[in-house]
Structure 1
Amino acid sequence: MYRFLLTPRWLSYLALTLVAAALMVFLGNWQLDRYRGRTAVNERIDAGAKMAPAPLRDAMPAPTGGPGTTGPAPAERVTWTRVTATGRYDTSNVILVRGRTVDSTVGFEVLTPLVLADGTAVLVDRGWIPPAPGGSATAQPQVPAAPTGEVTVA
């Protein structure tokens, strides 16, 4: 009575169904792995936002190379850790990062090096500013002056 299930047509349907089922299981596991990874990152971000800021040198070491070299990448355990740093802004090296959108307006992020007492520097994101009035999204805005003297940033 069910002998028709052994015909090439029905066997190809069975093979296609088994391949589709295996693919769906693989994709489901992939999505679950992505969810777990994203959850772990979000938990680190939330934990970092709740903790008190630590001094920068407690979170990561100073660069060991000469002038102009970068320090080591932070360890994963300290990624998203809030830190404090004390130094003076290097206003001669302000960096404007264009193409940053806030509330549907394209503007600039203002990055300024903060030179620490040991001579090393960290980039501080001083915030977002809109483009110059009446100009295009690439028109350089008037950047507010950085604080002078020694400052502590978190």
Structure 2
Amino acid sequence: MYRFMLSARWIGFAIFVIALAAVCTRLGLWQMHKLELRLDRNDVITKHFSTDPVDIGSALPSGTEVDKTNEWTRVTAVGTYDLSQQLTVKFTTRDGAPGVDVVTPLVLASGDAVLVDRGWIETQNTVKRPKVPAPPQGTVTVEGWLRQNNGAGGDAVRPSEGQIRAISSDALGKVMPYDLVDGYVNLQRQSPAPAASLAAEPKPELGQGPHFFYALQWWFFALLAVVGYIWFARAEAKERRNPTRVDGFAGPDPKKPVGSSTRP
């Protein structure tokens, strides 16, 4: 009854279904892996946010990089802002509104500097550098959390007319007159306070995200492909077992001899 499934058409159909189901299953597993990474990240953030801030020199000893294990560490730093090297990160948004982040190097007592994302201000996304509130003058104590460099490269991290599209201490260290501490600091508070504040970076979202439901969707598609293949195969077998009438007449009865008459 199912010998037709050995035909080239049905073998090709089976290969397609197997490949489709395998891809959907793999995508579901990929989403579950992303969920695990998200949960691990949430654990790291929760751990760092539950501890007191530490001096940036202790959090990042010389030569240490910001990675997934120490990102979000709450740190403090004391130094002087260098307005001559201040940059704005363009094309950023908050709740759908356009604006810029303001990044100002804080020169430490050692002579090195750390990039400080002082916050965000709403402004039109134009190629011209907008005016932003100035930071406090003189010695400043800042507190915030460590962030990794943005993985972008090229023009995105290369200053142009005082603006960049992504923050990278590696790239900016090549054009600034001092060594930069790896990564940057998302400012949360500072002393003395500035005359006009910027909007601080909000705390990261610690939810699970949509990854689990995306995984279920991909696995549903894989199951649907297999079930669909079985359904079409059963429908084909049923059609071969009971041929469809054409123009109101059925095909010859295989149990009735050819040429036999129905008259008495």
TM tier relative to shorter chain: 0.7 to 0.9
Alignment match, 2:235 = none
Q: Is the contact between residue 98 and residue 125 of structure 2 (CA under 8 Å) also seen in structure 1?
A: no
1:54, 1:136 → 2: CA distance? 36
What is the CA distance between 1:130 and its match in structure 2? 3.0
Task: Give deviations 1:106-142, integer Å, cap 9, x for gaps.
Answer: 22221111111111110111112233xxx77445443
Contact 1:90 1:114 in 2 (8 A): yes
| Residue-by-residue CA offset, 1:73-126 (whole Å, 9 max, x unaligned) | 224321221111111212222212222222333222211111111111101111
Residue in structure 2 matched with residue 65 of structure 1 by the alignment = none
Letter in 1 for 2:65: A
- The answer as to 2:110 corresponding to 1:121 is no
1:147 pairs with one of 136, 139, 148: 136
RMSD of the TM alignment (CA)? 2.3
SS at match of 1:77: coil
Query: Who is 2:154 aligned against?
Result: none
Q: Give TM-score scaled by structure 2 length.
A: 0.48
Task: Indicate the residue corresponding to 1:79 in structure 2.
Answer: 71
Q: Does the 8 Å contact 2:56/2:76 carry over to 1? A: yes
Structure 2 residue runs of 5 or longer lacking an equivalent are 144-264
Q: Which amino acid aligns with 1:5?
A: M
Segments of 5+ residues of structure 1 without an aligned counterpart are 63-70
Aligned residues of 1:114 and 1:122 also touching (Cα < 8 A): yes
Structure 1 counterpart of 2:101, one-letter code: E
* Higher RCO (CA < 8 A, seq sep 6+): 2
Contact 1:115 1:121 in 2 (8 A): yes
> For residues 92-131 of structure 1, what are the structure 2 equivalents within 5 Å?
92-131=84-123
TM-score, length basis structure 1? 0.77
Number of residue-to-residue matches in the alignment: 143
Q: Quick one: which amino acid aligns to residue 32 of structure 1?
A: M
Percent of matched pairs sharing the same residue: 42
Matched to 1:106, the amino acid is P
